[in-house]
Amino acid sequence: MARTLRVLFDDALALNPAGTGTFTRGIQTPLSRLDGIELIPAGSAARPHQLDIVNKGILRRMRNGADRVWYYLDTLPRLAARNRCDVIYCPAALTALRGRVPAVMTVFDMTTRLFPHTLDPLSGFYARQMLRIGLRRSSTICTISQAVRSELLSRYPRARTMRGCAWCWPARRDGATSRWSMKSSGSVCRMPSCGSGP
């Protein structure tokens, strides 16, 4: 009998009104229902006032940014170690910045690199640095479409050889719970779909 895979689920963006929040909420339940997986939510969803960028001053935004860096630098890897997790699943382009537990990072688009002018300087710098470090640290990189995968590899070609870079949307579209695989260094992590692919 196969051993249960203990997955620490990074739910930090679960309450985010953007697409990352929708994806995080949408994949958490089907992932928890998969046989052979024990899903352990990190329990760190940001509160609405933390996401209110319009009404934040520069100092508050910098403090919240520092808090988020500390979360990925210390809190998330410590949670994974304390709960004896086999993998950390991050449904966004943010991931554990240290620790021995392998992490899976999800990339939705390459906006921070292709269209940097659409972000304010502070947010853009933060997003680009976290993406760069995350690509280097992650055991597996998941993209939500083949197009995003192609753009990612065109900007970061070493991701193809140094880490697994998988387009991990399911092929099945019959409404049933399907699975897709993310392969890296010979290992396979099976995840559910949370909808139909593009």
More confident residue, 81 or 61: 81
The per-residue DSSP string of 100-145 comes to SS-EEEEE---HHHH-GGGS-HHHHHHHHHHHHHHHHH-SEEEESS
CA distance 100 to 102: 6
pLDDT of residue 166: 58
The per-residue DSSP string of 11-47 comes to -TTTT-SSHHHHHHHHHHHHHHTSTTEEEEE---PPP
Asked if pLDDT for residue 126 goes beyond 70, the answer is yes
The per-residue DSSP string of 41-75 comes to E---PPPHHHH--TT--HHHHHHHHHHHHHIIIII
Domains along the sequence of the chain with CATH: 5-192 (3.40.50)
pLDDT of residue 86: 95
Query: Quick one: tokens of 149?
Result: 């995968």
pLDDT of residue 53: 52
Average pLDDT, the chain: 76
**DSSP letter (8 states) at residue 196:** -
Q: How many CB atoms neighbour CB 109 within 10 A?
A: 17
CA distance 76 to 58: 26
- Going by pLDDT thresholds of 50, 70 and 90, the confidence category of residue 55 is low
- Going by pLDDT thresholds of 50, 70 and 90, the confidence category of residue 197 is very low
pLDDT of residue 142: 87
Residue of 17, 93, 91 whose CA lies nearest to 51: 17
pLDDT 10s digits, 144-159:
888 888 899 888 887 7
Asked if pLDDT for residue 196 goes beyond 50, the answer is no
Q: Specify the amino acid at residue 16.
A: N
More confident residue, 103 or 60: 103
- Going by pLDDT thresholds of 50, 70 and 90, the confidence category of residue 189 is very low
Residue of 74, 79, 72 whose CA lies nearest to 93: 72
Report residue 104: phi and psi, to 5°. -110, 125
Mean pLDDT across 118-137:
86
